[in-house]
Structure 1
Amino acid sequence: MVKIVIGDETQLKLTEDRLTRSGVPAEAGLVIGKFSSKLDKGFVYNLLPTPPNDSGEPPCSVIDGAGESNKNKKKNSSKAKSQPEAAALFIDKDWVSEHARQVSRMLLGGMKVIGIYVWINENLFKNSTTTLCQTLLGVAEAASSMVSDSNEAVLVHIGYSPLRWTCRNCSLASNITSSSLRPCEFKMGKVLGSLQTFRCTYNFDLRLPIPHDELEITKFSNILRDEIILHAKELSSAKAIINGKLVAENQDELSLSDNFHEVELLLPFLQDKYLEACGQKEVVGVLLFQGSVCSLSYLNSKEPILQALIDIKEDIIRSLLSRLDNICDEADKDLESDGGQENGSDVPVPHFDLLTQRKQCILSLPRRVFVPWLDGTYICDYIQSSETMEVLKDHCTELMSMEVPSDDSEIMEPESNPPTATASTTNSFWDIAMGLSSATKPGDSVSKKTKNIAGTNPANFTDLKSVLSILVLIISLILGLVLYIIGD
């Protein structure tokens, strides 16, 4: 685990001033930063307060021994004086975790939700370790990207009377207790201003088999999620070119003249990894996954250059998974508004069961846009074709506690070809092997293109090819025999 945590002095001082002026007895939120195992340090970029829940209630409050929150204490001040009760800290763990889940989708490479912070007095902090540990674990699980997350988290305590910053870290286990929290050195310095920026435009065109699995429903979103995670393994072995120079596997340093660098990823030659993965299963269709992902990543100047490549690759996969999560969330909302029915054409595309749909399904993922954040850095959000920039502004205000620039030209939209997934299922292997489309009307089992070949189905087409091969062989033997006789 890291021994030193360094926070950006400018941003943390702004948070300190805001909390001091607010006069609130308690506040909780997320710590945005990064762990560096090579440097044995953690970096804190900013603290994000968790917004009020849907009912307008704050996610963090102080309650007395009778279960009364701090906002109601004034109504019963005389009773509180005559019967003092021990105060306790209340945190809506589920709401803070949901905040972490949504914020993690908006962060770029080299930036993650690495823990929580809390603003309470010293005595209340000591008596609330169980609540804080449970919240910390919930946030870590919600912010996990299923790529390669760190196995540790931090708890930053901002105490008042007197004002003091302290930090504790812990290993993420199934059960975090007060004894798991270990003090670590906390400093403030220049963090954001020393970051270097790496940009990569990753173009991909994947053709992936859809295996048949009778044990579970094969939904479009589940298949696509599995394929993205499978592709992450292949992407991890990709070579990289930075500023026109090939980076070696053991190269930790590279001559970098400025703070902005272009990255190009070189995938290895096709090794049939996807076919090997499905070699022992029945293949019933093909998933065409193509498009481009624009990725940004940030690296501390003292970190090895290879870390930038790891962060870029993780950001690409996280971006694809985040887009899929976004459209799945929207699909769930549509089902809830329709009373939870999943019948007929009312089923959203992400919930299509490909083994029973028997037709081509197309799922367009939202495009990625970049919004200026802190000290030259950016965050991102995902906009669907039917949405406007107002959605982006609402997300940034609510989740990131920031104002989006009024000038839309400051918002970058570099993706001209957002990712699209097209799934086609069929009973015939020849539709897959020959690259034929299986787009049909619901209920059809054979594609029109297949019917047009030789006026029959794929099996008859195979028989025709066999007959033609035998005829060619016989004709070759006859010609050879004739030439042999003439030669004599």
Structure 2
Amino acid sequence: MVRTVYSPEYCLQYLEQYASKEIFVIGLILGQSTAARENVIHLARTPDEKSSESASEASYVSDKVETKTLLNVSEAWVADHAKHVTRMLPGGMFVQGIFITSDEDIFEEPNSFSKVKSIVNHIYKAMNTNQYMFGNCPNSNERFMLHMSTSTKVLTCKSIEVGAPAKSTVIKPVEWKFLPKAQQWQRLDCYYEFDDVYPVIVKKSGISVKQQFQQILESAHKTIESSIMFIDGELKDNSEVLEQLFKKKKPKTNSKSAQQELPKSMNVSLFVPFENSLPETVEYLECDGSIHFSGVVSSSVFMYPKATVSETIAAVKQDIIRSLASRFTMHCDALIDDNLLPEEKVCFNEPPRRVLVPVGALYLCDYLFPGEAPAEALLSVRELLDLKITEADVICDVETPADTSEFDALDRDASSEELLATPQEASQFMYITGICFAMFVLIVSIIIHYYDGIVKVLSKVLSK
């Protein structure tokens, strides 16, 4: 059975735009794979690689010298582009393959086809380096290879199995359909709050911010995976379809438009079972410090309406962990000093916050560091997604900047820390107080004892 992929019609116009210029272009296919259907949401051209003499390896610029042939493409460069783009994707969406516009037939020319397979497999391996980024779709190991000829404008798509030995690689034809109307998506919004304290234990080799964040990610992943998801306040069966959930609640009406309309969004809540929130074993450790990890992650996931509840649950959980992994990576890359225990007794770290950017009928995301304006997101969207949007299109209020008032208070209190009694001083104070109290009781008892004798003697003298 031939696999069918659906994408918006503007993707065809996007391909024709570059094919008409008769230039070589390579880029990423972004989409969502569910049991019901394969949906592509966007095609993002990979920026041309700059020479090491003029820029750093991580820089992306789309208006430099064109890459002329497929054989000149760096697999690592395309894979790096895929890693950056994956950070911008909501949960449940992945890099599904690559597209190419060129004059040669990449499926017939042996060297070109070998190069394409190498690029796709390189992306797959690069995505496996960070398990919490969820770079690879867990449901399928197949990736798309879409080609449009610049001379004939013929479109051809095939799928390849990644991660398999070269000799056993299976190539399958794929039917690509463009939808004249915008694809409907079901939006699910979730706000997940973190408020945990993690111990900091410095070993002989030391510990860095990156290592500690990795431990937080591991803990958060276990907690979120064990959580139970409620949609609009109700526990749903995993086999139910999102579209059916709305129909059950929809009031009876004769309006055809009302029957076809999906709810703007569904609210998702994650609850952690009490037994899963406790550690398996309790260990008493001497810590060198602690990290108070606090904040709210805003999650907006877009699912195909015929997706199941189980697929939706996986997408929401992926989104929260992917967002944390993205922020931690960006934050650690921006640090000048990776030392976890600075000279200051209180240290405040604020990872970038999430903003939403429109792509077609749904939203992807970007991250802004403290002090950055929405204009910074425009640069990322242009370079990584090959899209032009305005500053007004960026939704910046899904997450608010961190409140540093509590940190400021802790910072002030740290300066007066030496005024407090140490544990040894406190125990000495209590010991001295105990001796004084015992002496007081002894004196009072002696006075009472002799008081009785004095009273008797006086009573005899007075009687005489």
| Shorter-chain TM band | 0.7 to 0.9
Provide the residue aligned with 2:366 in structure 1. 381
Provide the residue aligned with 2:229 in structure 1. 240
CA contact (8 A) 1:109 1:314 kept: yes
- Is residue 311 of structure 1 aligned with residue 315 of structure 2? yes
SS of 1:61's partner is coil
- Is residue 268 of structure 1 aligned with residue 237 of structure 2? no
For 2:214, the aligned partner's letter is R
Structure 1 residues 367 and 124, CA, compared in 2 at 3 Å: closer, same or farther? Answer: closer
Q: What does 1:185-200 align with in structure 2 at a 5 Å threshold?
A: 185-190=174-179, 193-200=183-190
CA–CA distance in 1 between the matches of 2:428 and 2:198?
A: 24
- 1:48 CA displacement: 0.8
CA–CA distance in 1 between the matches of 2:27 and 2:146?
A: 11
Structure 1 residues 226 and 141, CA, compared in 2 at 3 Å: closer, same or farther? Answer: farther
- Is residue 165 of structure 1 aligned with residue 155 of structure 2? yes
For 1:137, the aligned partner's letter is N
- 1:246 CA displacement: 2.7
Residues 129-173 of structure 1 show CA distances to partners (whole Å, capped at 9, x for unaligned) of 332222112223444552343252413231425433333333432
Q: Which runs of 5+ in 1 are unaligned?
A: 63-87, 332-346, 424-435, 442-446, 476-488
CA contact (8 A) 1:5 1:44 kept: no
Structure 1 residues 403 and 159, CA, compared in 2 at 3 Å: closer, same or farther? Answer: closer
- 1:416 CA displacement: 1.9
Which one is further off, 263-272 or 7-16?
Answer: 263-272
- 1:307 CA displacement: 1.6
- 1:266 CA displacement: 3.3
Residues 195-230 of structure 1 show CA distances to partners (whole Å, capped at 9, x for unaligned) of 21111122221122234444x431112211221232
Q: What does 1:206-221 align with in structure 2 at a 5 Å threshold?
A: 206-214=196-204, 216-221=205-210
CA contact (8 A) 2:157 2:174 kept: yes
CA contact (8 A) 1:292 1:418 kept: no
- 1:94 CA displacement: 2.0
For 1:155, the aligned partner's letter is F
For 2:174, the aligned partner's letter is E
Q: Which runs of 5+ in 2 are unaligned?
A: 52-62, 251-261, 442-464
Match of 1:457 among 423, 444, 448: 423
CA contact (8 A) 1:120 1:157 kept: no
CA contact (8 A) 2:28 2:82 kept: yes
- 1:231 CA displacement: 0.8
Match of 1:230 among 219, 222, 225: 219
CA–CA distance in 2 between the matches of 1:16 and 1:209?
A: 52
For 2:222, the aligned partner's letter is K
Residues 282-308 of structure 1 show CA distances to partners (whole Å, capped at 9, x for unaligned) of 543322111111111111122102322
Which one is further off, 141-150 or 274-283?
Answer: 274-283
Q: What does 1:59-138 align with in structure 2 at a 5 Å threshold?
A: 60-62=67-69, 89-125=71-107, 126-127=109-110, 128-138=112-122
Structure 1 residues 250 and 457, CA, compared in 2 at 3 Å: closer, same or farther? Answer: farther
Provide the residue aligned with 1:295 in structure 2. 299
- Is residue 353 of structure 1 aligned with residue 351 of structure 2? no
CA–CA distance in 2 between the matches of 1:439 and 1:225?
A: 30
- 1:250 CA displacement: 5.8
Structure 1 residues 94 and 448, CA, compared in 2 at 3 Å: closer, same or farther? Answer: same
- Is residue 399 of structure 1 aligned with residue 384 of structure 2? yes
- Is residue 367 of structure 1 aligned with residue 353 of structure 2? yes
CA–CA distance in 2 between the matches of 1:392 and 1:417?
A: 16
CA contact (8 A) 1:50 1:59 kept: no
CA–CA distance in 2 between the matches of 1:277 and 1:60?
A: 57
Provide the residue aligned with 1:17 in structure 2. 16
CA contact (8 A) 1:209 1:274 kept: no
CA–CA distance in 1 between the matches of 2:212 and 2:381?
A: 31
CA–CA distance in 2 between the matches of 1:155 and 1:60?
A: 22
- 1:177 CA displacement: 2.9
Structure 1 residues 22 and 380, CA, compared in 2 at 3 Å: closer, same or farther? Answer: same
Provide the residue aligned with 2:54 in structure 1. none
- 1:395 CA displacement: 1.1
For 2:92, the aligned partner's letter is G
CA contact (8 A) 1:109 1:315 kept: yes
SS of 2:265's partner is strand
TM, length-normalised to structure 2: 0.74
Structure 1 residues 358 and 304, CA, compared in 2 at 3 Å: closer, same or farther? Answer: same
SS of 1:230's partner is helix
Structure 1 residues 437 and 171, CA, compared in 2 at 3 Å: closer, same or farther? Answer: farther
In percent, how many aligned pairs have the same letter? Answer: 21
Provide the residue aligned with 1:411 in structure 2. 395
Provide the residue aligned with 1:29 in structure 2. 27
Structure 1 residues 309 and 417, CA, compared in 2 at 3 Å: closer, same or farther? Answer: farther
For 2:198, the aligned partner's letter is L
CA–CA distance in 2 between the matches of 1:211 and 1:261?
A: 43
CA contact (8 A) 2:27 2:98 kept: yes
- Which structure exhibits the higher relative contact order, with contacts defined as CA atoms closer than 8 Å and separated by 6 or more residues? 2
